[in-house]
């Protein structure tokens, strides 16, 4: 992701679509689908101020800190968590 590529309507996260490693990157707002029984790493970051990221059903809560990428690792154990 690159701040120079950010466009509020078309590319809010600054995803470089020409980068081959971005082929499996999916960006959604308020929806997150993860596989059951597989480890998932979410890398949370912010461009401006501290934001909060939380998934209450998985008991996850963390802050996105400007200028830092904070990884959060978890495994969903049952569908619909």
Residues 5 and 43 in one domain: no
Residues 66 and 51 placed together within one structural domain of the fold:
yes
By residue range, what is the domain housing residue 52?
34-81
Digits of tens for pLDDT over the chain (81 positions)?
666 778 777 777 777 878 888 777 777 667 788 899 999 998 888 878 888 888 888 888 888 888 888 898 899 998 876
On whether both 51 and 79 belong to a single domain, the answer is yes
In the chain, the number of structural domains is 2
Spell out the residues 6+ positions from residue 12 whose beta carbon is closer than 8 angstroms to its own.
6, 27
pLDDT of 47:
76
Alpha-carbon span 56 to 30, nearest angstrom: 13
Q: What is the structure's pLDDT at 81?
A: 62
Predicted local distance difference test score (pLDDT) of residue 17: 78
């Amino acid at each position: 992701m690159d701040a120079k590529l950010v466009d509020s309507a078309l590319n809010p996260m600054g995803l470089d679509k020409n980068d081959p490693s971005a082929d499996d990157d999916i960006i959604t707002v308020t929806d997150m689908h993860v596989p059951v029984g597989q480890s998932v790493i979410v890398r949370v970051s912010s461009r401006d101020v501290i934001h909060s990221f939380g998934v209450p059903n998985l008991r996850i809560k963390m802050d996105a800190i400007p200028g830092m990428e904070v990884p959060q690792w978890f495994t969903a154990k049952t569908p619909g968590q």
